[in-house]
Amino acid sequence: MRIMILGGDGYLGWATAMHFAARGDEVCVIDNYLRRKIARDTDSEALSDNPLLDARCALFAAHTNRRIRCEIFDLAEHDRLFRLMEEFQPDCAVHYAEQPSAPYSMKSFAEAKLTLDNNLTATHNLIWAVLEKAPDCHIVKLGTMGEYGTPNIDIEEGWIDIEHKGRREKFLYPRQASSLYHTTKVLDTDLLWFYVRTYGLRVTDLMQGPVYGLATAETDIHPDLGVNFHYDDIFGTVVNRFIVQAIAGIPLTVYGKGGQTRGYLNLTDTLQCIELAARNPVKPGELRIANQFTELFSVNDLADRVKRVGDAMGLKVAVDHIDNPRREMEEHYYNVVRRELPALGLEPHPMTDEVLADMIQRILPLRDRIVPARVLPRVAWKNRKRTG
């Protein structure tokens, strides 16, 4: 198939690009290096320096004889996106091209504005590029489980049937996120659903949980083809951060009580999910929403696991409960329906001790590059003072 990957320089974008290219699909990646710029601006650079995207595409081609087309531009340049869409005619467009950091989006007005503008503009321009230039293209959009927040009822898969005063209606499941970043994904969902039902767009919206992991079949082809491994408070997700803390001898930083429960998945399972969605497109006018994770853990569970595995490897891991920089419930009900991706054939790879040990083994040689200041929270949600 012909597949366009928006945000192809990212942790998931690059792994996805290689995954499809290795299977013989025609891949075109787009990126504007926004994440690299933010990482420099916030002292949150990845553990290893990855070559730029065009260089990685060239390296991948040299080792695999599979070409990945690389286009570097900002999706705000809608003319350029429209032209590329017309020319490339993708069967599927995978949309990762968003500012993905919750703490960054909560730093101040400037970062909030950048996040809102960048994410909504990218989504809206993509919608119209498809409508105008490749109307049969199936959009696979990365949403987040964070859109739902932590409601006191079961989290259904994107939709909910409400019975109210003796009548019934089906709605988008009400979303209520805990950062501006996550809220921009709620707005994306609203926008996509509007255009799906009005103009017959084809969309799969994947509500993904935090992803962990370093390796895919393709990252191991060459060290410079690895993923961007972020372990900082801005771009690092919690599992990656705990692994680095364990290695650097820093106590694992559990935010608050640690009862926060989320749905996690391995990077390789993300690739499986994206491929299942892409190879099973929805009909025109259909918005399919899938909850994308394989296992539920609380932060305390994760800390215990990383400690157990790290200790067994001689790391002497400590766990520290620190003041929660975020506004979120630290103990809550969390029961999530998950049917769509298993029905498409997802075979989950659980987070075994071996998986965690492999991550630790891969990071150990890079121990000296770890900057301890980056793994502690530098952005707080709560510190706005009212003057009134």
* Positions that interact with its own copies (CB under 8 A): 78, 109, 112-113, 116-117, 120-121, 124-125, 128, 131-132, 135-136, 151-154, 160, 162-165, 167-169, 171-172, 174-178, 180, 183, 186-187, 190-191, 193-194, 198-200, 284, 327, 333, 381, 384, 386-388
Dihedral through CA 204, CA 205, CA 207, CA 208, nearest 10? 70
347 vs 386 by CB, closer to its own copies = 386
29 vs 287 by CB, closer to its own copies = 287
Could you give the residue numbers annotated as active site? Answer: 144, 181, 185
Kindly state the smallest distance separating residue 252's Cβ from its own copies, in Å: 26
3-state secondary structure 284-321: CCCEEEEEECCEEEEHHHHHHHHHHHHHHCCCCCCEEE
Kindly state the smallest distance separating residue 137's Cβ from its own copies, in Å: 9
65 vs 387 by CB, closer to its own copies = 387
Kindly state the smallest distance separating residue 331's Cβ from its own copies, in Å: 16
Tokens of 286: 């259909």
Kindly state the smallest distance separating residue 76's Cβ from its own copies, in Å: 10
How many Cα atoms are found within 13 Å in the side-chain-facing hemisphere of 11?
28
3-state secondary structure 176-211: CCCCHHHHHHHHHHHHHHHHHHHHCCEEEEEEECCE
175 vs 307 by CB, closer to its own copies = 175
269 vs 330 by CB, closer to its own copies = 330
Phi and psi dihedrals of 39, rounded to 5? Answer: -60, -45
Kindly state the smallest distance separating residue 96's Cβ from its own copies, in Å: 21
What's the rounded Cα separation, in Å, for the pair 362 and 96? 26
- Give strand ranges (E) for the chain: 2-6, 26-31, 68-72, 92-95, 138-144, 159-164, 167-172, 202-208, 211-212, 252-255, 261-266, 287-292, 295-298, 319-322
Kindly state the smallest distance separating residue 136's Cβ from its own copies, in Å: 3
Phi and psi dihedrals of 140, rounded to 5? Answer: -110, 110
What's the rounded Cα separation, in Å, for the pair 38 and 347? 35
In terms of C-beta density within 10 A (0-12 exposed, 13-18 middle, 19 or more buried), how is residue 34 classed?
buried
106 vs 267 by CB, closer to its own copies = 106
Centre a 10 Å sphere on the Cβ of residue 376 and count the other Cβ atoms it contains.
15
What's the rounded Cα separation, in Å, for the pair 95 and 144? 12
314 vs 388 by CB, closer to its own copies = 388
DSSP SS3 for 240? helix
What's the rounded Cα separation, in Å, for the pair 135 and 202? 8
Kindly state the smallest distance separating residue 166's Cβ from its own copies, in Å: 9
- Residues near 98 by Cβ (< 8 Å), separated by ≥ 6? 7, 118, 119, 122, 123, 142, 181, 184, 185, 188
Kindly state the smallest distance separating residue 257's Cβ from its own copies, in Å: 19
- Residues near 287 by Cβ (< 8 Å), separated by ≥ 6? 158, 192, 193, 196, 197, 203, 204, 205
